Amino acid sequence: MSLADKLVSSFLAFELDINVQSPVHNIRTEAIKEFEKLGFPNKKLEAWKYTSLKNVLKEDYTIFSKKKNVLEFKNIQNYFLENTETYKLVFVDGSFDPFLSQTSHDGVDICILSAALTKPVYSKIISKYFNTSINKKDSLSLLNTAFSKEGVYIHIPKNKILEKPVEVIHFATGNEATLMLQPRNLIVLEKNSQAEIIETHQSLTSNPIFTNSVTEIFVDQDAHLDYYKIQNDNLTSSLIDNTYISQQKKSVAKVHTFSFGGKLTRNNLNYFQKGSYIDSIMKGITIIDENQLVDHHTLVDHANPNCESHQDYKGIYSGKSTGVFNGKIVVDKIAQKTNAFQQNNNILLTDKSTINSKPQLEIFADDVKCSHGCTIGQLDHDALFYLRARGIPKKEAKALLTYAFANNVLESVNIPSVKSRIKKIIANKLGVDLGFDL
């Protein structure tokens, strides 16, 4: 039985475990029907031309984790930010772990979707936002919707500035021989509110893990979102991240995606501008090797006038790794004075590494500024000699140049412990013991 068939037939079992009377359940039922029609995406689809899921989908994943593993904080504390007070939402093999988490209902809601979907107090927010922004033709988002049950629920009311960042970590422990996870997250920032969120998926096992995540984020007028995705998972884990961000006027939503690990990582990052004077910022650093694949598909829908979008993605590829960058920008007819900027710079360190970079601009307004640039190159040979002539060994010299290449993406990281963590991962990934302290 194929994984798609297995998932469809598992839906009945899933229904035994949830409240089928809730209005959300109609959404799930519709979604599984649509998924059954579409199936998983394949390389015939334009959006999946460079990324094949074949190797990920061939495993016979456990869909509902049965065995429970308990994690002790001391064994996993390295995965949390150092010296930083945070709210914590920790999931272990798909289930919420209250002992490792630090939630809040004190003027804000930082808790879990299973509660939000079932408790009446949240029903207004759920019916207003849940599943309203996803692409109803995207089979992976539909699949996640069908099995939506658990994940992050964050609601920041009007004028509230979250004083601590929220750390979200999804652990996989290897309790099952193979495991598929489908976290579903809903994040709502009301007018003039602010929040910082850090999301990590971390497998603690070499068992195959496949995560198909959907995150819906709503950023109301004048609100500020600062979101960090730290993707440094091990080589038997794959992640499909579908993130949908809807912004109202004068809001700012910034997403940094740091992709260093995983077997296959696909980031579908979608922005919808629903008002004027919106700023949408996407930044990324990808450093991969061996047979890793990282695919960034961004979409910015400029549907209103006077908005901006900024995209800056850097990629460094070695081994036989493959990178994909596809940046789609749509500027509607009414979206005059749009300023859309897109930049994708890549370094190929080996002959066998590949980058497929594609800007995709669909512009229907006439008074706009849209720029895009893509570069693919190698490390500067002369610069390498310059560093080595000063006594910096080849490996460190390469690392320093690589870091320098990606460095400007780190400048916009506002949380110092996130920045130092990324620097450490980069040094580790490049196999050097350099602090990169500037």
Partner 1 sequence: MLSIDNLHVSVEGKPILNGINLDVKAGEIHAIMGPNGSGKSTLSSVIAGNEDYEVTKGDIVFKNENIIELAAEERAHKGIFLSFQYPIEIPGVTVTNFIKTAINSNLKARNESEMPANKMLKKIREKAELLEIDSRFLSRSLNEGFSGGEKKRNEIFQMAMLEPSLSILDETDSGLDIDALKIVANGVNKLRNKDNAVIVITHYQRLLDYIIPDFVHVLHEGKIVKSGDKSLAHELEEKGYDWIK
Which positions lie near partner 1, rule CB under 8 A? 380-383, 385-394, 396-397, 400-401, 403-408, 434, 436-438
12 or 389: CB nearest partner 1: 389
Smallest gap from residue 435 Cβ to partner 1 (A): 9
274 or 398: CB nearest partner 1: 398
Q: In what order do the strands lie in the sheet with 308-317?
A: 95-96, 87-92, 166-172, 194-203, 224-231, 252-259, 279-288, 308-317, 339-348, 369-377
The per-residue b/e assignment along 150-165, b for 16 or more CB within 10 angstroms, e otherwise, is bbbbbbbeeebebeeb
Smallest gap from residue 389 Cβ to partner 1 (A): 5
66 or 390: CB nearest partner 1: 390
98 or 416: CB nearest partner 1: 416
Smallest gap from residue 425 Cβ to partner 1 (A): 17
Smallest gap from residue 257 Cβ to partner 1 (A): 19
Smallest gap from residue 380 Cβ to partner 1 (A): 7
Smallest gap from residue 378 Cβ to partner 1 (A): 15
192 or 345: CB nearest partner 1: 345
By the 10 Å C-beta count (0-12 exposed, 13-18 middle, 19+ buried), 81 is classed as buried
Smallest gap from residue 433 Cβ to partner 1 (A): 9
55 or 408: CB nearest partner 1: 408
87 or 258: CB nearest partner 1: 258
61 or 436: CB nearest partner 1: 436
Smallest gap from residue 409 Cβ to partner 1 (A): 10
